Amino acid sequence: MCLAVGFNPDAAGRMTSKDEEEARVASPISNAETLAGRTVHSQMAGEAERSWSWLLSALVSLNVLMLGCALLSGTVFSNISLSANNLEVFLLTLVVCTTTWMLYYAAFTAREERAVLYKDAHAGPVWLRAGLVLFALCSVVMDIFKIAKYVGYMHCEPVVTIVYPAVHAVFIFVQTYFLWLHAKDCVQLKKNITRYVCGLMLTLSTDLMLWITAVTEESLHQTVLPSNTSSGGVLFTNSVQGTPSNCECSHSACSIFEQASYYLYPFNIEYSLFASAMSYVMWKNVGRLVDDHQDHHHQQRLDLRGVILGPVLGLLLLVAGLTTFVMYEVDVAAEGSGKRDEALQIHYIINSVTMSLMSAAAVVGCAIHVWEQRERVSEYNPTRSLDVGLLMGASMGQFAISYFTIVAVVGSGVPGTLNVLNLASNVLTVIQLCLQNVFIIDGLHRQPHVQTHTHAQRYARAASIFSNTFAIQTPPMESLYSDTGFSSIIPFRRQLGWKRKMMKEICAFLLLANIIMWIMPAFGARPQFDNGIGADFFESYMWVAVVNIGLPFGIFYRMHSVASLFELYVTS
């Protein structure tokens, strides 16, 4: 009995061997589960860290913008005695901190191992960076003009007045270099991610604050209500970067440099917005994993072959718009209401014609989108989301001005050709904005057109289905011989299909039309103030607020539409 229930060494050995075998079999599974668990835990920790960093950076941006807006408001409004130098010191601090961070990133962070593993192919396209460089050059020239102007006031102005334009020019140079090289970066750096995200948000906040300041200064310069309005009056007495009335310039060119700098303000405003958009995309790309095959499978090129009608019509519209704009500026500046009314009528007519043509082009473009049946882009893309958001958000400014004008014209009930043209122009503007937004947004969400194979590529591909590949190694006879019978290779050039050609014509026309619609308000056309019906109906304070808030967004909408239409032209 004892032997039956006693210890059996052979059985124990067999059980030990079996347990070891089962342990060896189960070991890879358990190791894989452990590795997977660690990976999931690491990803969750990374997401939590990024979420915390984004929240902290958003709070930094909110505080910077609110403080800046408070200082700007205190500088502008006449019933608050706050010097413009306080705002300049604040902006100077932001610019210096942002410049220092960008230099640190370019010199150290971007060169760390495994800091930037991916590039976003959609972020910072070459035409956007080229536009950024163009606006940067104009902004630097504007700063040079300001420095030349303020040199004449050195005897009665604080030093910060001259230092700020110089530091701002350095900031523009550094930021343009930074965005040209690093706009596509998807930073994967685990350590110091909070510092990096906050640095990007500081850059974004600085650009937005510079944009708000430039827009305010430009609005104060352009806000001139006609003398015949019943509610006219002085709204602002201070200037963002003005000089005291008792301070005289020491040289005679101060007024020339001041006027020249005002003509460059639109470029500086667009530069700040372009830089803000690119900084926002970099901020959203922090920690993003990009599929290289998904983002780099097509190289798009600018193809101008066969596109004639759209550019020609667009150039004609551009020349006509520039001509009427010059006439408008001259006639409005002349004495007498007769010249002003005539200039306004011409402006409303050219605006109505332009809006009608642009609306018709957008309708045709939307129809072609339906016929093409190109696949839609399904993956998440922060650049594309930003494009759509900016397009819709910026159009709200022009929508507001148009609807307020429509209500003022209809509500006042004042008859006359001028008011009829004003009403028609704004109604057509609303229609054009809706149609163009639909056309651009639908096009941005379509897959880029895939180039079909050339003649030789089709024959090379067909070789794989024949056993005798030698028989098709020679191109067909019509590609070897010309009509004269002389043996020569004629290169194959595929013609554009009619839908692609029509799409390029539409994009080219709308691009040039949006340029003229950007030029006129950006360089001083203010029919909202030259025609006193809005100020009379809504009172001056409300009307000036509506126009000065909505118009900068409307101006940016036109320039952003130009960039989006250029992208549609390339990808169609």
Residue 466 covered by a domain: no
Residue 400 covered by a domain: yes
Residue 26 covered by a domain: no
350 and 284 in a common domain: no
3-state secondary structure of 569: helix
158 and 124 in a common domain: yes
Q: What is the pLDDT of residues 396-433, one digit of tens each?
A: 999 999 999 999 999 988 778 999 999 999 999 999 99
Residue 84 covered by a domain: yes
279 and 251 in a common domain: yes
Name which of 507, 526, 512 is nearest 354 in CA terms: 512
Residue 14 covered by a domain: no
Residue 3 covered by a domain: no
Q: What is the pLDDT of residues 17-53, one digit of tens each?
A: 545 555 544 454 455 445 444 444 445 555 666 677 7
101 and 222 in a common domain: yes
251 and 180 in a common domain: yes
Give the number of domains in the chain.
Answer: 2
Rounded distance, CA 240 to CA 558, Å? 26
CB 455 within 8 A of CB 492: yes
188 and 154 in a common domain: yes
Task: Report the DSSP beta bridge partners of residue 185.
Answer: 119
CA dihedral 456, 457, 459, 465 (to 10 degrees): 160
Give whichever of 23-27, 113-117, 307-311, 349-353 has the largest mean pLDDT.
349-353
219 and 279 in a common domain: yes
Residue count (the chain): 572
292 and 310 in a common domain: no
What tokens does 271 get? 């530069």
168 and 81 in a common domain: yes
339 and 192 in a common domain: no
Residues spanned by the domain of 113: 41-231+240-297
Reply yes or no on whether the pLDDT at 224 is more than 70. no
Average pLDDT on 490-519 reads: 80
Residue 395 covered by a domain: yes
**Which H helix or E strand runs over 185?**
strand 185-187
Name which of 248, 247, 204, 236 is nearest 78 in CA terms: 236
Burial status of residue 84 (CB atoms within 10 A of its CB: 0-12, 13-18, 19 or more): buried
329 and 286 in a common domain: no
CB 200 within 8 A of CB 57: yes
| Domain end among 297, 324, 340 | 297
**Structural Rg of the chain based on CA atoms:** 32
Reply yes or no on whether the pLDDT at 297 is more than 70. no
Residue 28 covered by a domain: no
Rounded distance, CA 392 to CA 454, Å? 39
Does pTM top 0.85 for this prediction?
Answer: no
What tokens does 272 get? 């700040």
195 and 115 in a common domain: yes
Burial status of residue 381 (CB atoms within 10 A of its CB: 0-12, 13-18, 19 or more): buried
Helix residue ranges, H only, 290-416: 292-295, 309-333, 337-372, 382-412
Name which of 172, 259, 193, 168 is nearest 222 in CA terms: 259
Counting Cα atoms < 13 Å in the Cβ hemisphere of 426 gives 22
CB 75 within 8 A of CB 82: yes
pLDDT at 111: 80
